[in-house]
Amino acid sequence: MNCTRLLLIACLSAALFNTGCSTQRSGGGVRLFSGPGTRYEFALIGDVPYDETQSRESFPNMIEEMNASDLAFVVHDGDIKSGSTPCTDESFERVKAQFQEIRHPLVYVFGDNEWTDCGRIKTNSFAPLERLQKLREMFTQGEHSLGWRTMPLERQSVDPRFAAYRENVRWSLGGVVFAAVNVPGDRNNFGAPEFAERNVANIAWIRDAFERARKEDSRGVMLIMQANPHFDLATTNALRRGFNEMLRVIEDETVAFAKPVVLVHGDSHYFRIDQPLVGSKSGRRIENFTRVETFGNPDVHWILGVVDSRDPNVFQFERRLVKKNLLKHR
Protein backbone atom coordinates (compact mmCIF):
# COMPACT_ATOMS: atom_id res chain seq x y z
CA MET A 1 0.00 0.00 0.00
CA ASN A 2 1.56 3.32 -1.00
CA CYS A 3 1.99 6.34 1.28
CA THR A 4 -0.68 8.41 -0.47
CA ARG A 5 -3.29 5.71 0.10
CA LEU A 6 -2.23 5.25 3.73
CA LEU A 7 -2.61 8.96 4.38
CA LEU A 8 -5.98 9.05 2.63
CA ILE A 9 -7.22 6.19 4.79
CA ALA A 10 -5.92 7.94 7.91
CA CYS A 11 -7.71 11.13 6.89
CA LEU A 12 -11.01 9.36 6.20
CA SER A 13 -10.76 7.64 9.59
CA ALA A 14 -9.87 10.89 11.31
CA ALA A 15 -12.81 12.64 9.68
CA LEU A 16 -15.11 10.23 11.47
CA PHE A 17 -13.53 11.24 14.75
CA ASN A 18 -13.36 14.98 13.99
CA THR A 19 -9.56 15.10 14.23
CA GLY A 20 -9.18 17.23 11.13
CA CYS A 21 -6.52 15.18 9.41
CA SER A 22 -5.33 16.85 6.22
CA THR A 23 -2.99 16.10 3.36
CA GLN A 24 -1.66 19.66 3.47
CA ARG A 25 2.05 19.85 4.07
CA SER A 26 4.19 22.80 5.07
CA GLY A 27 6.52 22.54 2.06
CA GLY A 28 9.37 24.76 3.14
CA GLY A 29 9.03 23.79 6.77
CA VAL A 30 7.17 24.90 9.87
CA ARG A 31 5.88 28.45 9.96
CA LEU A 32 5.63 29.88 13.45
CA PHE A 33 3.86 33.19 13.71
CA SER A 34 0.86 34.69 15.43
CA GLY A 35 -2.27 35.63 13.58
CA PRO A 36 -4.92 33.96 11.45
CA GLY A 37 -2.45 31.80 9.49
CA THR A 38 -0.62 30.11 12.34
CA ARG A 39 0.53 26.59 11.49
CA TYR A 40 3.18 24.41 13.10
CA GLU A 41 4.13 20.76 13.55
CA PHE A 42 5.25 18.71 16.55
CA ALA A 43 6.03 15.08 17.43
CA LEU A 44 4.41 12.70 19.91
CA ILE A 45 6.34 9.67 21.17
CA GLY A 46 6.32 7.33 24.17
CA ASP A 47 7.10 3.94 25.71
CA VAL A 48 10.64 3.97 24.33
CA PRO A 49 13.42 2.89 24.74
CA TYR A 50 12.62 -0.43 26.43
CA ASP A 51 15.73 -2.52 25.86
CA GLU A 52 19.32 -2.40 24.67
CA THR A 53 18.44 -2.80 21.00
CA GLN A 54 16.02 0.11 21.16
CA SER A 55 18.55 2.23 23.06
CA ARG A 56 21.32 1.56 20.54
CA GLU A 57 19.34 1.36 17.30
CA SER A 58 15.57 1.97 17.15
CA PHE A 59 15.40 5.06 19.34
CA PRO A 60 18.38 6.78 17.63
CA ASN A 61 16.75 5.95 14.28
CA MET A 62 13.60 7.73 15.39
CA ILE A 63 15.56 10.68 16.74
CA GLU A 64 17.34 10.95 13.39
CA GLU A 65 14.03 11.20 11.51
CA MET A 66 12.55 13.72 13.95
CA ASN A 67 15.72 15.83 13.77
CA ALA A 68 15.32 15.95 9.99
CA SER A 69 11.83 17.41 10.41
CA ASP A 70 10.85 21.01 11.17
CA LEU A 71 9.16 20.62 14.53
CA ALA A 72 8.15 23.17 17.12
CA PHE A 73 8.67 20.60 19.90
CA VAL A 74 8.60 16.89 20.81
CA VAL A 75 6.57 15.31 23.63
CA HIS A 76 7.55 11.97 25.21
CA ASP A 77 4.56 10.73 27.21
CA GLY A 78 6.45 8.41 29.53
CA ASP A 79 8.12 5.02 30.04
CA ILE A 80 11.79 5.42 29.15
CA LYS A 81 12.60 1.84 30.20
CA SER A 82 10.99 -1.53 30.69
CA GLY A 83 9.14 -2.05 33.95
CA SER A 84 11.30 -5.09 34.71
CA THR A 85 14.69 -3.38 34.36
CA PRO A 86 16.35 -1.68 37.35
CA CYS A 87 15.43 1.97 37.97
CA THR A 88 19.03 3.09 38.34
CA ASP A 89 20.39 6.60 38.04
CA GLU A 90 22.51 5.33 35.17
CA SER A 91 19.47 4.20 33.18
CA PHE A 92 17.86 7.61 33.64
CA GLU A 93 21.06 9.43 32.71
CA ARG A 94 21.46 7.40 29.54
CA VAL A 95 18.02 8.37 28.27
CA LYS A 96 18.47 11.99 29.31
CA ALA A 97 21.64 12.11 27.19
CA GLN A 98 19.64 10.78 24.25
CA PHE A 99 16.93 13.37 24.87
CA GLN A 100 19.59 16.05 24.56
CA GLU A 101 20.41 14.74 21.08
CA ILE A 102 16.94 15.80 19.93
CA ARG A 103 17.41 19.18 18.28
CA HIS A 104 13.89 20.33 19.12
CA PRO A 105 12.50 21.31 22.54
CA LEU A 106 11.51 18.13 24.39
CA VAL A 107 8.84 17.76 27.07
CA TYR A 108 9.06 14.51 29.03
CA VAL A 109 6.14 13.16 31.10
CA PHE A 110 7.03 10.60 33.77
CA GLY A 111 5.81 7.01 33.26
CA ASP A 112 5.02 4.20 35.69
CA ASN A 113 8.10 2.21 34.67
CA GLU A 114 10.30 5.00 36.01
CA TRP A 115 8.82 5.23 39.50
CA THR A 116 5.57 3.49 40.55
CA ASP A 117 6.77 0.12 39.19
CA CYS A 118 10.21 0.45 40.75
CA GLY A 119 9.43 -1.52 43.91
CA ARG A 120 7.15 -4.25 42.59
CA ILE A 121 9.56 -7.02 41.62
CA LYS A 122 12.77 -8.40 43.12
CA THR A 123 14.91 -7.43 40.11
CA ASN A 124 13.74 -3.83 40.46
CA SER A 125 13.68 -3.15 44.19
CA PHE A 126 13.76 0.63 44.52
CA ALA A 127 11.68 3.05 46.59
CA PRO A 128 9.12 4.57 44.17
CA LEU A 129 8.89 7.98 45.85
CA GLU A 130 12.67 8.27 46.00
CA ARG A 131 12.79 7.46 42.29
CA LEU A 132 10.13 10.10 41.61
CA GLN A 133 12.24 12.67 43.39
CA LYS A 134 15.30 11.59 41.40
CA LEU A 135 13.34 12.07 38.16
CA ARG A 136 12.42 15.57 39.27
CA GLU A 137 16.05 16.36 40.07
CA MET A 138 17.31 15.05 36.75
CA PHE A 139 14.61 16.07 34.29
CA THR A 140 12.84 19.17 35.65
CA GLN A 141 15.62 21.61 36.46
CA GLY A 142 15.06 25.23 35.45
CA GLU A 143 12.09 26.71 33.68
CA HIS A 144 12.79 25.36 30.21
CA SER A 145 12.26 22.11 28.34
CA LEU A 146 14.83 19.47 27.60
CA GLY A 147 16.31 19.06 24.11
CA TRP A 148 19.14 20.72 22.22
CA ARG A 149 16.92 23.73 21.53
CA THR A 150 14.69 24.58 24.47
CA MET A 151 11.47 26.45 25.08
CA PRO A 152 10.13 28.07 28.26
CA LEU A 153 7.70 26.08 30.38
CA GLU A 154 5.33 27.10 33.13
CA ARG A 155 5.60 24.71 36.09
CA GLN A 156 2.84 24.02 38.57
CA SER A 157 5.45 24.22 41.31
CA VAL A 158 5.34 28.04 41.16
CA ASP A 159 2.12 27.68 43.15
CA PRO A 160 3.16 27.10 46.80
CA ARG A 161 0.26 24.66 47.21
CA PHE A 162 1.82 22.37 44.62
CA ALA A 163 5.51 23.11 45.06
CA ALA A 164 6.51 19.45 44.72
CA TYR A 165 4.99 18.95 41.27
CA ARG A 166 7.65 20.40 38.99
CA GLU A 167 6.86 17.77 36.37
CA ASN A 168 3.41 19.25 35.70
CA VAL A 169 4.08 21.80 32.97
CA ARG A 170 2.19 24.06 30.57
CA TRP A 171 2.95 26.08 27.48
CA SER A 172 0.92 27.97 24.87
CA LEU A 173 1.69 28.18 21.18
CA GLY A 174 -0.27 29.36 18.19
CA GLY A 175 -3.60 29.55 19.93
CA VAL A 176 -3.37 26.20 21.74
CA VAL A 177 -2.75 25.50 25.42
CA PHE A 178 -0.70 22.36 26.17
CA ALA A 179 -0.61 20.87 29.69
CA ALA A 180 1.19 17.77 30.98
CA VAL A 181 0.33 15.98 34.23
CA ASN A 182 1.95 13.15 36.19
CA VAL A 183 -0.62 10.36 35.75
CA PRO A 184 1.18 6.97 35.61
CA GLY A 185 -0.26 3.69 34.36
CA ASP A 186 -1.74 1.37 34.79
CA ARG A 187 -4.03 2.55 37.60
CA ASN A 188 -2.56 5.97 38.50
CA ASN A 189 -0.97 4.44 41.62
CA PHE A 190 -4.44 4.43 43.13
CA GLY A 191 -4.44 3.30 46.76
CA ALA A 192 -0.90 4.48 47.49
CA PRO A 193 -0.54 7.18 50.19
CA GLU A 194 0.81 9.70 47.68
CA PHE A 195 -2.14 9.35 45.28
CA ALA A 196 -4.60 11.76 46.90
CA GLU A 197 -2.31 14.81 46.94
CA ARG A 198 -1.03 14.19 43.42
CA ASN A 199 -4.57 13.71 42.14
CA VAL A 200 -5.59 17.05 43.64
CA ALA A 201 -2.59 18.71 41.99
CA ASN A 202 -3.30 17.11 38.61
CA ILE A 203 -6.95 18.12 38.62
CA ALA A 204 -6.07 21.67 39.61
CA TRP A 205 -3.55 21.83 36.75
CA ILE A 206 -6.11 20.55 34.25
CA ARG A 207 -8.66 23.11 35.41
CA ASP A 208 -6.01 25.82 35.19
CA ALA A 209 -5.21 24.81 31.61
CA PHE A 210 -8.82 25.31 30.54
CA GLU A 211 -9.04 28.57 32.47
CA ARG A 212 -5.92 29.78 30.65
CA ALA A 213 -7.44 28.72 27.33
CA ARG A 214 -10.59 30.69 28.05
CA LYS A 215 -8.67 33.80 29.06
CA GLU A 216 -6.50 33.61 25.94
CA ASP A 217 -9.48 32.73 23.71
CA SER A 218 -7.47 29.69 22.59
CA ARG A 219 -8.55 27.55 19.67
CA GLY A 220 -7.82 24.26 21.43
CA VAL A 221 -6.40 22.41 24.43
CA MET A 222 -4.08 19.40 24.53
CA LEU A 223 -3.59 17.36 27.71
CA ILE A 224 -0.72 14.87 28.00
CA MET A 225 -0.27 12.05 30.50
CA GLN A 226 1.33 8.62 30.54
CA ALA A 227 -1.55 6.43 31.64
CA ASN A 228 -4.32 5.02 29.53
CA PRO A 229 -7.26 6.07 31.75
CA HIS A 230 -9.35 3.07 30.67
CA PHE A 231 -12.32 4.86 29.13
CA ASP A 232 -13.82 1.48 28.22
CA LEU A 233 -13.96 0.08 31.76
CA ALA A 234 -16.71 0.46 34.33
CA THR A 235 -16.11 3.14 36.97
CA THR A 236 -16.07 0.41 39.62
CA ASN A 237 -13.25 -1.51 37.92
CA ALA A 238 -10.02 -1.57 39.94
CA LEU A 239 -8.01 -0.27 36.97
CA ARG A 240 -10.42 2.62 36.39
CA ARG A 241 -11.02 3.92 39.92
CA GLY A 242 -7.86 6.03 40.03
CA PHE A 243 -9.03 8.01 36.99
CA ASN A 244 -12.70 8.57 37.75
CA GLU A 245 -12.51 11.99 39.36
CA MET A 246 -10.03 13.30 36.80
CA LEU A 247 -12.15 12.07 33.88
CA ARG A 248 -15.23 13.75 35.32
CA VAL A 249 -13.32 17.02 35.41
CA ILE A 250 -12.04 16.53 31.87
CA GLU A 251 -15.61 15.85 30.70
CA ASP A 252 -16.98 18.96 32.43
CA GLU A 253 -14.20 21.21 31.15
CA THR A 254 -14.35 19.82 27.60
CA VAL A 255 -18.10 20.34 27.33
CA ALA A 256 -17.86 23.86 28.77
CA PHE A 257 -14.92 24.79 26.52
CA ALA A 258 -16.82 23.69 23.39
CA LYS A 259 -13.68 23.74 21.22
CA PRO A 260 -11.30 20.91 20.23
CA VAL A 261 -9.69 19.06 23.13
CA VAL A 262 -7.10 16.30 22.67
CA LEU A 263 -5.84 13.87 25.31
CA VAL A 264 -2.48 12.27 24.47
CA HIS A 265 -1.27 9.21 26.37
CA GLY A 266 0.84 6.08 26.03
CA ASP A 267 0.91 3.09 28.39
CA SER A 268 -0.92 0.41 26.39
CA HIS A 269 1.41 0.55 23.36
CA TYR A 270 -1.29 0.78 20.72
CA PHE A 271 -1.38 3.62 18.20
CA ARG A 272 -4.90 4.94 17.82
CA ILE A 273 -6.98 8.05 17.30
CA ASP A 274 -10.56 7.83 18.53
CA GLN A 275 -13.31 9.43 20.60
CA PRO A 276 -13.78 7.34 23.75
CA LEU A 277 -15.18 10.00 26.12
CA VAL A 278 -18.93 9.51 26.62
CA GLY A 279 -21.05 12.18 28.25
CA SER A 280 -22.29 11.16 31.69
CA LYS A 281 -25.66 12.83 31.03
CA SER A 282 -26.11 12.39 27.29
CA GLY A 283 -24.69 8.88 27.03
CA ARG A 284 -23.22 9.94 23.69
CA ARG A 285 -19.64 10.51 22.57
CA ILE A 286 -18.43 14.04 23.19
CA GLU A 287 -17.72 15.37 19.72
CA ASN A 288 -15.01 17.91 20.54
CA PHE A 289 -12.87 15.39 22.47
CA THR A 290 -10.25 13.19 20.79
CA ARG A 291 -7.84 10.65 22.28
CA VAL A 292 -4.44 10.09 20.64
CA GLU A 293 -2.38 7.14 21.88
CA THR A 294 1.27 7.06 20.87
CA PHE A 295 3.22 4.12 19.47
CA GLY A 296 5.08 2.04 22.06
CA ASN A 297 7.37 -0.94 22.51
CA PRO A 298 8.02 -2.90 20.35
CA ASP A 299 6.85 -0.43 17.66
CA VAL A 300 9.30 2.48 17.63
CA HIS A 301 7.58 5.09 15.48
CA TRP A 302 6.12 8.58 16.06
CA ILE A 303 3.07 10.73 15.43
CA LEU A 304 3.25 14.02 13.60
CA GLY A 305 0.89 16.56 15.11
CA VAL A 306 -0.17 19.74 13.35
CA VAL A 307 -1.88 22.84 14.69
CA ASP A 308 -3.50 24.88 11.95
CA SER A 309 -5.54 27.92 12.94
CA ARG A 310 -7.25 27.88 9.54
CA ASP A 311 -8.67 24.41 10.21
CA PRO A 312 -11.90 24.48 12.26
CA ASN A 313 -10.74 21.24 13.91
CA VAL A 314 -7.41 22.86 14.84
CA PHE A 315 -5.52 19.57 15.24
CA GLN A 316 -4.31 17.14 12.57
CA PHE A 317 -2.42 13.88 13.16
CA GLU A 318 -0.39 11.65 10.90
CA ARG A 319 1.54 8.50 11.76
CA ARG A 320 5.25 8.55 10.91
CA LEU A 321 6.79 5.12 10.44
CA VAL A 322 10.56 5.13 10.95
CA LYS A 323 11.99 3.49 7.83
CA LYS A 324 14.94 1.87 9.58
CA ASN A 325 12.61 0.36 12.20
CA LEU A 326 10.19 -1.33 9.80
CA LEU A 327 10.08 -5.13 9.97
CA LYS A 328 10.27 -7.58 7.13
CA HIS A 329 7.22 -9.72 7.79
CA ARG A 330 8.10 -12.27 5.12
> How does the average pLDDT of the chain come out, rounded?
90
pLDDT of residue 179 exceeding 50, the answer is: yes
- pTM of this structure: 0.90
3-state helix, strand, coil in the chain (%, to 5): 30, 20, 50
Report the pLDDT value the prediction gives residue 120, as an integer from 0 to 100.
Answer: 80
In sequence order, the 6+-apart residues with CB closer than 8 A to the CB of 195 are: 188, 189, 242
Report the pLDDT value the prediction gives residue 32, as an integer from 0 to 100.
Answer: 42
Domain boundaries, the chain: 41-324
pLDDT of residue 3 exceeding 70, the answer is: no
CATH of span 41-324: 3.60.21.10
Yes or no: say if 84 and 120 are a contact pair by the CB < 8 Å rule: no
Query: For residue range 244-266, what is the model confidence (pLDDT) as tens digits?
Result: 999 999 999 999 999 999 999 99
Query: For residue range 263-301, what is the model confidence (pLDDT) as tens digits?
Result: 999 999 999 999 999 999 999 999 999 999 999 999 999
Yes or no: say if 78 and 226 are a contact pair by the CB < 8 Å rule: yes
Beta bridge partners of 179: 170, 223
Tell me the mean pLDDT in the region 173-201.
97
How far is 182 from 25, CA to CA, in rounded Å? 33
- Return phi, psi of residue 285, to 5°: -65, 140
Q: How confident is the model at residue 19 (pLDDT cuts 50, 70, 90)?
A: very low
pLDDT greater at residue 3 or residue 220: 220
Question: Which phi-psi region, left, alpha or beta, contains residue 163 (left: φ > 0; alpha: ψ -120 to 50)?
Answer: alpha
pLDDT greater at residue 10 or residue 103: 103
pLDDT of residue 148 exceeding 60, the answer is: yes
How far is 88 from 250, CA to CA, in rounded Å? 34
Tell me the mean pLDDT in the region 166-187.
97
Report the pLDDT value the prediction gives residue 123, as an integer from 0 to 100.
Answer: 67
Q: How confident is the model at residue 15 (pLDDT cuts 50, 70, 90)?
A: very low
Query: For residue range 297-309, what is the model confidence (pLDDT) as tens digits?
Result: 999 999 999 999 8
DSSP assignment of 84-143, as one string? TS---HHHHHHHHHHHTT-SS-EEE---GGGTTTTTSSGGG---HHHHHHHHHHHH--TT
In sequence order, the 6+-apart residues with CB closer than 8 A to the CB of 56 are: none
In sequence order, the 6+-apart residues with CB closer than 8 A to the CB of 7 are: 23, 318
Query: Rounded to 10 degrees, what is the CA torsion of 310, 175, 9, 303?
Result: 140
Query: For residue range 131-142, what is the model confidence (pLDDT) as tens digits?
Result: 999 999 999 999
